Structure formats: C-alpha cells, structure tokens
Structure 1
Amino acid sequence: MQAHAGEVPEYLARLEEAHGELLPPADDVAEFRSLLRGDLHVHSDWSDGGSPIREMAEAAIGLGHEYMALTDHSPRLTVANGLSAERLERQLDVVAALNEELAPFRILTGIECDINVDGSLDQTDELLGRLDVVVASVHSDLRADSAAMTERMLTAVADPHTDVLGHCTGRLLVPREQREGRRQRPRPESAFDAEAVFSACVEHGTAVEINSRPERLDPPLRLLTLAVDLGCEFAVDTDAHAPGQLDWQGNGCERAVECGVPPERVVNTRTADDLLAWTAG
C-alpha cells in the first residue's frame, strides 16, 4: 500500500538505513567500469551460449567495448557442447573473418578450458598456444577434498597457457534453471587452500577472475580481499551466454571497488595490444 501510494515502504527504508552504507558509492563503481575495455569470458552458440558469435560481438560493441575474448567450452564438458580440436580450428577461421568485418573491434580467440582432475588443461598444447586468451576453470569433482583440489588448481595455474583462473570456488548462490524436471540447488564453494592458489597466481602471472554472473559472484568477498592483499592481478568478466548478459560487468566492478582492487591490476583495463603482450609473456 505504501509503494502504491508513491511512498518508500517502511521496511525498505529501515533496510536502506541499516545497510545502504555497505554498498560502494555508485560513482566509484561507474568510474571503475569505465576503465574496462573488454570482457575475457564470453560464450556463443558454438558451445552452451544462446547466440551467434557476431551477435555477441555486436552487443559488446554497443556497450563500448574494444574487444571480447570468445571462450567457448573445451571438449571434456560435453554437457556444454564443448569444442573438439576440429571445431575449435573451424571457429578460429570464423573469428578471423569476423574480425575483418568488425574492425577496429577485435574478437580475441580463446577458450574456457576445463581443468582435468590431474590439473592438466583439456585441449592440445598446439591449439592452446594459438589462442589469445585461455580461461582455466574447474567444472567437475567440485566436492573433492581440499588437498586434492588445491593441487589440481596449482598445476593448472602454473601451466604456461593459463591466463585467467575462472570462477575459482565454483559456487552457485541460487539454483540454475530446472532441467528434465530435476530440482536444482545452490552449490557450495569448493574447498582449497586459497592463499596457496592465489600466491601461485602471482608467481605465474595468472589473473584471478572476478566472475560477474549473479548466481556466481565468484570469488566471495573474503577471498577477493585475500587475493588483493597477496598482489594478484584480476579480470572482471561476465561469463556471458547471451548478449544482454554482457552488461553484468557492473556486478564485478561493484565487488572490485568494495574490496579495493586497484584498477591497474585489472588486465582488461588494458588495450588489446597490451593485453596480448601480457598473455604472450
């Protein structure tokens, strides 16, 4: 009734008074976001995204991005229609043709590569070496014990092909959409030695992803703060599977500002050339 009358509901007013100051200032978030030149974690309908590569690129252009990394899934993730080596080869040709049409915007070639149980990456070394950006993520055996998960992640982070450690805890804050009538539930964080993993990211020059998907918001704030304190670099990504989801970067920027992430340590504030020099290093 209060809202219908054009008033601020008393309950909402109490919440804003009690907790509103915990949110970072909107101007600070907007300024941080304005520094981002692109997105390093984007999916298309070649794997489990819902839109063609061109549509994702055109949406990124509409947001003012200078580039986006196309990071469809690797072959082991069959549930997400992961790309075999042959399909990835074909995608590279498609991206090359689109880049000629869409210049100066650039679609960076990439992959979200599954981290195998032994820590190896789920694609051939030859192909990984040809890609601009490799995001390495754990998608299986998420309930492994901490020691096993830590060793797995340390191995992946140390791989010279790995540029970004994706959604490091694997958590889901809210259920995914129900599939085949099965009830989906939130997923807790995987257990691992965060200090050891983030320290390895610093040592090997691997960026920690700030995943902006509303159901992920990964890493949690306490781990993001730890990564800042340890000196990590970051990539603020959307993990977008549809054009409208590219606008989710604001979620990651809000968390970055809240945890004191220095913009100069966010790799996608760099020009495409500078970013590629970093990934090639």
Structure 2
Amino acid sequence: MEPVEALERIAFLLERQGAVTYRVQAFRTAAAAAGELSADALRRRAENGSLARLKGLGPKTTRVVEEALAGVRPVYLARLEDEAGGPLVEGERGARLRQALRGDCHLHSDWSDGGSPVETMAATARDLGHSWCVLTDHSPRLTVARGLSAERLRQQLALVAEVNETLAPFRLLTGIECDILDDGGLDQEPELLDQLDVVVASVHSKLRMDRAPMTRRMLAAVGNPLVDVLGHCTGRLLSGRQRPESSFDAGEVFAACAEHRTAVEINCRPERLDPPRRLLREAVDAGCLFAIDTDAHAPGQLDWQIYGCARAEECGVPADRIINTFTERQLTTWTTTGRTPGR
C-alpha cells in the first residue's frame, strides 16, 4: 500500500467511525503533504531521517509513511481496520436496498460546514459505487455553518461543472440544504433555487416552536414547488448535545409531502436517524416518496447510508418509492416535472 493511500484510508475510517475532526485532519493533511512528493523523494527522506521534518507530518503520520514505504501494512491502519472497518449494521440488514441505491441527495463540503473539498466528496461517493450525488451545502442564514450567499452559490455552480468534467461519467448534481424560515419561506433567492437540480429544505432554527405554527411552517415548505426533499423532519439529536423531536402534526405534513411529491428524508447520521421508526412507518402509510441520505460532512461519513437502508427495510419502505434508486436522468426529471419512473 502506498503512503498516501494508507493515510487517506485511515482518515476515511476515522470519519466513518465518527472521530473528532482534528484527528481526521492530521491524516488528511499528511496525505496532501506526502502526495506532493514522488515515492522516491519520500523514500530518500525516510532513509536520511528528514521525513518527520516534512511540513504536515507528525509522529503518527510519519510512522504510517515509513511503514508503507517499507512494504508493510501500517500498524495504525491495521488496528483501525479491526475497530472500524467492518460492517456498520448486523448481518444483512439493509444490504439489498443499499445495492439498489445509485446516489446520495444530501452532503456537505468545506464550502459550508463540511471538512473536505467538493472534489474529494464527489470522488469518494463515486468510489463507494454511486453514479451520482447531490452537493447540498447550507443556505446563508445558517451563519454558524458558513451558509452560502447567492453569490457564493453561483461560484459553486461553476466549480461543480468543472468537477463533472473530471469525474465523468459520474455526475455531481447541484443542490442546497435550504433553511425553512419561520413562516415556511426558503432562505435563498427563488430564481437561484430554480436552477438547482435538488433542493433539500430543513428546519434549523426555533425547533421548539409550538405544534400548530411548526406544522404551518413545514406545510408551507413542502408545498413549495421548489422543494424536493424534506430534510431530517423532527430535528432530533440522539447523542452529544441531545435534542428532543420538534412537535408538528406528522399526519398533515406527510399527507402534504405525498400530495406535492416531496420526498421525506431518511437521515442516516447516527446522532439523527430521523425520522423515528413510528413516523417513518406513518410516512410509508401516507404514500410518501423517500430519500435515504447520509448528510455527510466528511468523506468517510458517505458510508453511513447503510444505517438508513436498514431502517427503511425494517419499516417497509418500498424501493420504488426511494428516489436514490433513480438514475441521474430519472432524478432530474422527477425534480423538474414530479414524474417518477413508470408513472
């Protein structure tokens, strides 16, 4: 295994494990630094003892490079593969459905609160077997997440076009995770939202709003023709700074999602797993479409999709109502016209 490959694999596994950012960044920074040198140059540095002086490498990452150059599997990587490299769910739960998925409709890059460049996120999605994914960085009101102004979003659209030239036939689709404002409006220019391939709309503020106004707020959003996916509908957090579910009339909201062909997101982040099973089953009964999305903020988190697949299978979500099973053309046809394959 080459040094850069070993460092990147370690970073991926740490992200998959949900490790804190600084631990991951040490290995991604080291991979970038090592990647700027040829294998021969790295080997000469290892031989003359100057490898540790290379900017971007620390004691742990230097050892990984040295072991990889020596032709042995780095000890740190081997230990991490044992800890975090195995299946994320028990048995075959969700495996068949995961094989049917072609993409991921919700992921973030370092343009907002993600930790990696757009190109890295897209290339990882491709390497995990996807044929497309949707870049959905945050909208401007979420300043804590460096949400994109209209100007920055337009700049990002140009970058997406460049990435697609490099990664074809894989397709990176344009998108946004747009804040649902207090009155149910959307936190971005309508004309700009209309240019995007996919719009995920999510509540990020006033999550403890009373039931009736929260219901009206969500109904306004899912009924907006610019919205394609309702993101993490309850807003709950199961770990860390735990947060209870928002209160809203799920029956009304899911009925509106079914009527307006707005997909309900099955959010795969371990601290979210949103919606809860009881609401997921209610959305199935309401006839909703679904999007099984990682909400990934780092490349390794793109592998979390199996969590959503396992929950979807458990709750009886039909595969033909999951938009991630669509081809790129079918997906963009649906977001443009509302027509799903076979209908």
TM interval, shorter chain, is 0.7 to 0.9
Code of the residue aligned with 2:148 in structure 1: it is L
Query: CA–CA distance in 2 between the matches of 1:206 and 1:25?
Result: 31
CA distance in 2, matches of 1:200, 1:148: 16
CA distance in 2, matches of 1:46, 1:118: 27
What does residue 132 of structure 1 align with? 197
Distance 1:25 1:241, change over 3 A: closer
Partner of 1:191: 247
Deviation track 1:42-68 (CA, whole Å, cap 9, x = no partner) reads 000000000000000111011010011
C-alpha distance after superposition, 1:8-49 (max 9, x if no partner): xxxxxxxxxxxxxxxx98435111100000000000000000
Question: Which structure is higher in RCO with an 8 Å CA cutoff and minimum separation 6?
Answer: 1
SS at match of 1:261: coil
What does residue 114 of structure 1 align with?
179
Which residue of structure 2 lines up, in the alignment, with residue 98 of structure 1? 163
In structure 2, how many angstroms separate the alpha carbons of the residues matched to 1:219 and 1:59?
A: 26
Partner of 1:240: 296
Q: How does 1:75-86 map to 2 (within 5 A)?
A: 75-86=140-151
What CA RMSD, in Å, does the superposition of the two structures yield over aligned residues? 1.0
36, 58, 81: which one aligns with 2:101:
36
Q: Distance in 2 between matches of 1:246 and 1:213?
A: 10
How many equivalent residue pairs?
249
CA deviations 1:211-255 (Å, max 9, x no partner) are 000000000000000000111000000000000000000000010
The answer as to 2:278 corresponding to 1:222 is: yes
Distance 2:91 2:202 in 1: 31
2:94–2:307 CA contact under 8 A, matched in 1: no
Amino acid at match of 2:325: T
CA distance in 2: counterparts of 1:247 and 1:28, whole angstroms: 15
Q: Hey, what's the Cα distance between the residues in 2 that align with 1:25 and 1:259?
A: 16
Measure, in 1, the Cα distance between the counterparts of 2:261 and 2:287.
Answer: 10
- 2:235 is paired with a residue of what secondary structure? coil
1:168 maps to what in 2? Answer: 233
Deviations 1:60-82 (A, max 9, x none): 01101001100000000000000
Aligned to 1:21: none
> Which residue number corresponds to residue 256 of structure 2?
200
1:30 & 1:163 partners in 2: Cα distance? 26
> Runs of at least 4 residues of structure 1 off by over 4 A?
none
> Percent identical across equivalent pairs?
67
> Aligned partner of 1:109: which letter?
T
Matched residue SS, 1:174: coil
Unaligned runs of 5+ in 2: 1-88, 338-343
Is 1:159–2:224 an aligned residue pair? yes
What SS does structure 2 have at the residue aligned with 1:218? coil
Alpha-carbon distance in 2 for matches of 1:65, 1:220 = 26
Give the letter for the 2:173 counterpart. L
Question: Which whole-Å CA distance do the structure 2 matches of 1:257 and 1:97 have between them?
Answer: 37
Which residue of the partner structure matches residue 274 of structure 1? 330
Where do residues 42-57 of structure 1 align in structure 2 (5 Å cutoff)? 42-57=107-122
1:262 to 302, 312, 318: 318
Aligned to 1:27, the other structure's residue is in SS state: coil
| Richer in helix (by share) | 2
SS in 1 for 2:194: helix
**2:165 alignment partner AA:** E
- What is the TM-score with the length of structure 1 in the denominator? 0.87
Greater radius of gyration (CA):
2
- Is the 2:209–2:247 contact (alpha carbons within 8 Å) kept by the matching residues of 1? yes
Q: Secondary structure of the residue that 1:130 maps to in structure 2?
A: coil
Deviations 1:192-221 (A, max 9, x none): 000000000000010000000000000000
Query: Residues 66-121 of structure 1: CA distance to partner in whole angstroms, max 9, x if unpaired?
Result: 01100000000000000000000000000001101110000000000000000000
Q: Is the 8 A contact 2:108 2:114 kept in 1?
A: yes
Q: TM-score normalised to the size of structure 2? A: 0.72
